Structure 1
Amino acid sequence: MTKLSVNINKIATLRNARGGNLPDVLKAAMDCERFGAQGITVHPRPDERHIRYQDARDLKPLVKTEFNIEGNPEPRFIDLVLEVKPHQVTLVPDAHDAITSNQGWDTVKYRNHLTDIVRTFHQHGIRTSIFVDPDPRMAEAAAYTGTDRVELYTEAYAAGYQKNREAAIAPFAAAAEAATKAGLGLNAGHDLNLDNLRYFVQTIPGILEVSIGHALIADALYYGLETTIQLYLRELKPWLPV
């Protein structure tokens, strides 16, 4: 079954809005695991407007499932990852002023750059994943960097799901097939939610992990965190009908 990694950035956003330590990001991460999450994701940005670099350091000894750190591989970020040594690092080309991630890597243009970064992380035993748009060419080119996985950027799928889910998922299926043929593992994330998640993972076999934060935390306002995580895990069960 596809693993659920909970992105806890939005919990940190709420904490930072008032200062102090409420809600407690570290406790929230441990509770997510206790409630069934199979991984914890954080995405520290240079301005530390949600997850702080120190949060990543503090989380490492606490996370008992799988720890995934996402971000743009600038020098400070690389140093953090090499210090913390998470199970996985996901390389995302987000600009400093981006509200949220809004594009995947051009793995053709930045092949040499990404190859060097992947090699550095591999030397420290850290699995790598590269954030890519649903383009078979980008997925194929990612394999030449030596990365272990690609993460499909699913915003376009989520945006088109209600209108025509078959058309919305078609480019993702093509990119996933290209990645699999190139020997890469598949992750996915961005705007996946309780409405569109099951169709995505059942239509595209082999998704190893989904990283979900914004929608999951928003749902938790109504259902509670424990129930929400269980609802998302239910959507990932392969035997349930679409």
Structure 2
Amino acid sequence: MTKLSVNINKIATLRNSRGGNIPNVVAAALACERFGAQGITVHPRPDERHIRYQDVYDLKAAISTEFNIEGNCQEPRFVDLVLANKPTQVTLVPDALGQITSNHGWDTIKNRDYLEDMVKRFQDAGIRVSIFVDPKEEMVEGAAETGTDRIELYTEAYASEYGYDDKKAIAPYIRAARKAQEVGLGLNAGHDLDLHNLKYFNEHILGLLEVSIGHALIADALYLGLEETIKRYLAALKA
């Protein structure tokens, strides 16, 4: 079964909008674990507009499932944060400063030498590394050359096309997944996956190990409740 890692950034966004500590991001993460999520994801950004750097330390001390920290390794403070907390996995995302949300993967060919150095730095600290990439076979091959453990396929294009031409939407991801298997990379996916498009994606992408879902899942929880929402996402991920 593909693992579900819940991105709790939006919980932190709600907290920060009012000040104080309601809702509590650690309590929310523990609830996600209790309701069946197999991992917790955070994506701290330099302006700390949602997850704060201190949240990462607090979560690391509290959660018992896999911990995935996403972010831009070109930010020295981010690198220091990851190395200080040693999560299960670090996902390297090429965000620009002030970017609202991730909107593209790494050019693993152009940035191969840089990524190779960063991958080794994190792996030497005992951290599994995943590189965020677009669903292009050449980018998957380039990622493999960096020595990374996994890639995470950026799924916004799939989510936008799904419901109009499902076969066309999924086709590049099927090819990218096959290439990942050929070159020995583990496979994650994330961005705009939701209860409408997740099951189809999971059924067609062989070898999918983990999805990271935040915005849609937290939004669904407003209507369904967090426990029921996680239950439905887990059901969509069953083989």
The answer to whether the superposition gives a TM-score over 0.5 is yes
Match of 2:19 in 1: 19
Match of 1:220 in 2: 221
Q: Matches of residues 152-191 of structure 1 in structure 2 within 5 Å?
A: 152-191=153-192
Secondary structure of 1:176 counterpart: helix
Match of 1:86 in 2: 87
Amino acid at match of 2:32: C
Q: Does 1:147 align with 2:154?
A: no
Q: Matches of residues 48-87 of structure 1 in structure 2 within 5 Å?
A: 48-73=48-73, 74-87=75-88
Shift of 1:96: 1.2
Percent same amino acid among aligned pairs? 70
Amino acid at match of 1:110: N
Q: Does 1:112 align with 2:126?
A: no
Aligned CA RMSD, in angstroms, stands at 0.5
Secondary structure of 2:62 counterpart: coil
**TM, length-normalised to structure 1:** 0.98
Shift of 1:207: 0.4
**TM, length-normalised to structure 2:** 0.99
Q: Matches of residues 93-132 of structure 1 in structure 2 within 5 Å?
A: 93-132=94-133
Q: Distance in 1 between matches of 2:63 and 2:178?
A: 32
Q: Distance in 1 between matches of 2:77 and 2:110?
A: 23
Q: Distance in 1 between matches of 2:176 and 2:201?
A: 13
Are the aligned partners of 2:178 and 2:206 in contact in 1 as well (CA < 8 Å)? no
List gaps (5 residues or longer) in structure 2.
none
Q: Distance in 2 between matches of 1:5 and 1:189?
A: 10
Secondary structure of 2:209 counterpart: strand
Match of 2:198 in 1: 197
Moved more, 124-133 or 58-67: 58-67
Match of 2:34 in 1: 34
Amino acid at match of 1:220: A
Q: Distance in 1 between matches of 2:180 and 2:108?
A: 12
Shift of 1:97: 1.9
**1:15-70 alpha-carbon deviations (Å, 9 max, x no partner):** 00000000000100000000000000000000000000110011102110100000
Shift of 1:216: 0.1
Shift of 1:154: 0.1
Secondary structure of 2:61 counterpart: coil
Secondary structure of 1:4 counterpart: strand
Q: Distance in 2 between matches of 1:116 and 1:52?
A: 26
Secondary structure of 1:210 counterpart: strand
Shift of 1:115: 0.4
Amino acid at match of 2:33: E
**1:187-225 alpha-carbon deviations (Å, 9 max, x no partner):** 000000000001101101110000000000000000000
Secondary structure of 1:61 counterpart: helix
Q: Distance in 1 between matches of 2:137 and 2:68?
A: 24
Q: Distance in 1 between matches of 2:81 and 2:67?
A: 13
